[in-house]
Homo-oligomer: A and B are copies of this chain.
Amino acid sequence: MRQLNNIKRGWPDAQIEVVVHGKALNLLVTGKSTQADAIKELQAKGVIFAACENTMKRAKVEKSQLLPGVPTVPMGIGEIVTKQEEGWSYIKF
């Protein structure tokens, strides 16, 4: 979260999408996320946090359990590939 805030401070217009999949999913689950406030602030600055539907199925997490304003993508990894093909840069956290 600190790194995302750093980017937004340095580059206010940067488009950022954080694709959350695998073990990280709880980051986006209401009542389980330890970062809900930081995520809300980053969302207000335009950062998108997206949840992987494959991970959600496996973890039995419903869309209604996600934090407000969190869209889903069918495959987290597919989303990362697609974005790279569109010219987005990739950072692995």
User: Using a CB–CB distance below 8 Å, which chain A residues touch chain B?
Assistant: 3, 6-7, 10-11, 14, 22, 54, 74-75, 77-78, 80-81, 84-85, 89-92
Contacts and interface: CB of A to CB of B under 8 A. Distances in A.
A16 to B, nearest CB: 10
A6 B54 contact: yes
Task: Please report whether the interface of chain A is mostly helix, strand, loop or mixed according to DSSP.
Answer: helix
Contact of A6 (B6, B10, B75, B91): B75
Given A7-B75, A81-B89, A81-B91, 5 more contacts: A3-B77, A10-B75, A10-B78, A84-B90, A85-B89
A2 B41 CA distance: 33
A84 to B, nearest CB: 4
